[in-house]
A and B are shown apart, each in its own frame.
Chain A
């Protein structure tokens, strides 16, 4: 266990401590510990059912969790203590905390009634209270950064899967979140569209964004991450720099897992 981080300047941006989460009688997360430092890129790998996506969703408060805590920039998210009881925060506080993290989903989840720019602008206007012109300018800047400047006024249905996912990335990043969560963002894409999305994420990583991502793309995880985390049965089984984890795996399940992914 890491010692209590007191005045250390290297306090992690995200600290997950003993996180437990059950769906009914099934325990999905069994006490997960994980740190993400400012500017770090952390990839979570593992077989399906290992709890990686659930972990990400707990950080963004899309799931409730039963035990442990998640600290973002030192602030416990989702819950507060009152007279020794653990209480879920009110909707408004949850929303405020969610605004500090961005999330990109496997299935894009673009708002179909809004244009690409409209998707990026919604949070800027309704959460950050920006004026229309300012929000539009920010949206255009971000769409340009993901290479979609000319698509600003297209409806999501007029965009390819890869373009939709890049809009989703712009939508998350335009909010200037402290941390961006990427949940298997290429899994729903046709193979030929994966490259453009991964290149976009790589560029963001290079610019110092803090990313926590779940991925099935091992080569991408190796290229982009500072740290790779292997999850197995609701626990972190192994973590380390990508070179160590992929080059010299120790956990028997990780060795087996990597052999399985190399096969295809």
Chain B
């Protein structure tokens, strides 16, 4: 135990650097994925059929493919197509595409459960389609979207570990490097597991606090 504390203290900069990297990757993927997901969700519900078909194909391909395959494909494929992405960018791209498909489905479900009368009432007061969406539909969808969205955030933090496979220096890869030096395998895997637990618990608690605020409105 003393050894672990000493070693972890010595490696604190590396661990914190990895943690920061993990948080950046997750935050980028969640923000970009959510934006993408809103577009996909709206396209799935309200798009003309070619757009709807394209959104459906995109969502199904992303959700039917393992995230690790997406990460590896995003890492290897752009180069042969003449596009040079750093591992970090490739990884964020893969997670964003994955996240966007999931959130798109969530939004499709939430929009689909709002009664038609709401749209009609909003159109009746003279709102445009985007006005209806922004002021009537999405705010209503938000409440039911919040819990699964928080859950998606946790999933993205967990999925960010897959970027270690393509050499992105996030928390898991940094921990593996530390283990490579000091051979304290079990201790440091437990430590890194605990760090992910802390991050994800924090996200869940923040989500619950947010849910309470939304519920009171």
* A–B in direct contact per CB < 8 Å: no
User: Which residue numbers of B lie inside 8 Å of A, CB to CB?
Assistant: none
